[in-house]
């Protein structure tokens, strides 16, 4: 071993970005392991690298024993033999003897080389893991290498990443050599090395694109309060301005839509609604349901439910194609959302008010009616006198009064079938309609 070893260490440290002292420690450990395998595991061996000459020096240490008391020649030496090396030595002294590295033999040298290579590989993988672990939530760019059973393998330069099928945007197709951008969502330490997982469908990928394209978002003047996505189709992004004179929607859209268009192009045409966030949940919901016009909103905080009433001609806009608009709004809000047309909501309220009047006439509580299963005037009308008497414990005269009240409040009318998709002008959606929930949110619609 000579200066060539020193040059090799310097080159590896430079090319692989590995700490030079770590490489030297690895080399010394590898040589020590080879010496013990070659001679005896009981040996007390010390290995040191001479940085000036590039040589590796190996010393074996033995304890001086009285003649005839030596039990292990690998760790002990008799006094007579020790005196031949050092006339001043005494019993119980420790003596060091240099071991010629050349004597290790070809097999031991090869073993040392393998240990060094493996240690270097482990150290390099640890560096890669630490580097990418600190880059969670960052956008990276890479080249599609090959298809894997779990998705596509993407070359990031220093390592490879996996783009799982479930993290791809639907209807996007890749081929080898394509350059793709994605968000680092997970870094796992596995036996074969660090596994970087990237995503193009994650809601945080859109937030990261806004940080990259909109300086006001990057410096915190405009804050993204929530994102709800139907990847590849439509998204809603809630924003809030921290400065009164900065319009959050205008900042995100850019001059003539330049900023939002860059994001839309990266996502291959995904429509994006910019929504102004509000601390008032009703205002926030009104903004989130744009472009639909909302008449009024009833907030039920105990049930985490919003009852949204819209004009009859706005129901389609509020629901959106395949329920997409209301589902994205529910995810963004984090509330369950029920949408009613004005006609349907007024009818429902009239029926509820009618039950109270009927209960008053029959001198029973509204809770008793509901507990007996009579949740509507129709159900009361369809019940027989015997059922009413048994379930409500009322007299025949009260039953007659009850029926008169029912006929007065809700005369029999022909019912018309409604669409299965919009039952009686009511649509229900919640944040659980999709695996991606959202945070915060608000309104102002800026579509790209």
Structurally, the chain folds into a number of domains equal to 4
CATH, residue 308: 3.30.300.20
On whether both 122 and 141 belong to a single domain, the answer is no
355 vs 348: CA distance, rounded Å: 11
Does 31 fall in a domain? yes
CATH, residue 158: 2.40.50.140
Does 218 fall in a domain? yes
Residues of the chain with pLDDT under 70: 1-5, 16-17, 101-116, 346-353, 409-428, 430-448
On whether both 33 and 72 belong to a single domain, the answer is yes
For 90, the enclosing helix (H) or strand (E) is none
Give the residue from 199, 214, 229 where a domain finishes. 199
Give the residue from 175, 199, 223 where a domain finishes. 199
Does 417 fall in a domain? no
On whether both 117 and 7 belong to a single domain, the answer is yes
Does 382 fall in a domain? yes
On whether both 285 and 380 belong to a single domain, the answer is no
Q: What is the DSSP letter of 322?
A: G
Give the residue from 163, 179, 199 where a domain finishes. 199
Q: What is the pTM of this model?
A: 0.62
On whether both 244 and 288 belong to a single domain, the answer is yes
Long-range CB contacts (within 8 A, 24+) of 203-207: 203/227, 203/228, 203/229, 203/235, 203/436, 203/438, 204/137, 205/139, 206/235, 206/237, 206/263, 206/267, 206/272, 207/237
- pLDDT of amino acid 131: 84
On whether both 277 and 388 belong to a single domain, the answer is no
Does 392 fall in a domain? yes
Does 423 fall in a domain? no
- pLDDT of amino acid 405: 80
Q: What is the DSSP letter of 380?
A: H
Closest CA to 335 of 260, 261, 228, 189: 228
162 C-beta neighbours (distance < 10 Å), count: 17
On whether both 124 and 150 belong to a single domain, the answer is no
72 vs 76: CA distance, rounded Å: 6
- pLDDT of amino acid 350: 55
| Domain extent for 185 | 136-199
On whether both 154 and 235 belong to a single domain, the answer is no
- pLDDT of amino acid 106: 59
- pLDDT of amino acid 433: 53
- pLDDT of amino acid 237: 95
164 C-beta neighbours (distance < 10 Å), count: 16
On whether both 178 and 220 belong to a single domain, the answer is no
Q: What is the DSSP letter of 169?
A: P
């Amino acid at each position: 071993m000579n200066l060539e070893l020193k040059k090799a260490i310097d080159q590896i440290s430079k090319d692989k970005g590995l700490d030079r002292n770590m490489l030297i420690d690895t080399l010394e450990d590898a040589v020590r392991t080879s010496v013990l395998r070659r001679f005896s595991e009981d040996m007390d061996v010390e290995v040191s690298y001479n940085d000036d000459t590039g040589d590796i020096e190996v010393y074996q240490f033995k304890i001086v024993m009285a003649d005839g008391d030596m039990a292990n020649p690998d760790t002990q030496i008799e006094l007579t033999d020790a005196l031949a090396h050092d006339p001043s030595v005494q019993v119980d002294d420790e003596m060091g003897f240099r071991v010629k590295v050349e004597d290790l033999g070809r097999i031991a040298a090869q073993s040392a080389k393998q240990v060094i290579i493996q240690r270097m590989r482990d150290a390099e993988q640890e560096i890669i893991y630490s580097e990418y672990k600190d880059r969670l939530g960052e956008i990276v760019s890479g080249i599609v290498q090959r298809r894997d059973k779990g998705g596509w393998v993407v070359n990031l330069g220093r390592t490879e990443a996996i783009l799982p099928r479930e993290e791809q945007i639907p209807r996007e197709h890749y081929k080898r050599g394509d350059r793709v951008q994605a968000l680092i969502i997970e870094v796992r330490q596995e036996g074969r090395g660090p596994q970087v997982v990237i995503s193009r469908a994650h809601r945080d990928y859109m937030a990261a694109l806004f940080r990259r394209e909109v300086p006001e978002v990057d410096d915190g003047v405009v804050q993204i309060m929530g994102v709800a996505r139907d990847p590849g189709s439509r998204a809603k992004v809630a924003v809030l301005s921290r400065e009164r004179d900065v319009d959050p929607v205008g900042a995100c859209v850019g001059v003539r839509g330049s900023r939002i268009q860059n994001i839309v192009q990266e996502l291959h045409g995904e429509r994006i609604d910019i929504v102004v966030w509000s601390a008032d949940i009703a205002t926030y919901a009104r903004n989130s349901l744009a472009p639909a016009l909302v008449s009024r909103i009833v907030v039920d905080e105990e049930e985490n439910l919003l009852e949204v009433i819209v004009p009859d001609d706005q129901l389609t806009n509020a629901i959106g194609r395949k329920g997409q608009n209301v589902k994205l709004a529910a995810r963004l809000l984090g509330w369950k959302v029920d949408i009613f047309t004005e006609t349907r909501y007024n009818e429902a309220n009239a029926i509820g008010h009618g039950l109270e009047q009927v209960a008053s006439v029959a001198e029973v509580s509204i809770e008793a009616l509901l507990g007996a299963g009579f949740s509507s005037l129709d159900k009361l009308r369809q019940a027989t006198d015997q059922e009413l008497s048994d379930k409500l414990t009322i007299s025949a005269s009260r039953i007659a009064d009850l029926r008169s009240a029912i006929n007065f409040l809700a005369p029999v009318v022909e019912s018309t079938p409604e669409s299965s998709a919009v039952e009686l002008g009511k649509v229900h959606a919640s944040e659980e309609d999709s695996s991606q929930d959202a945070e915060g949110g608000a309104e102002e619609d800026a579509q790209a």
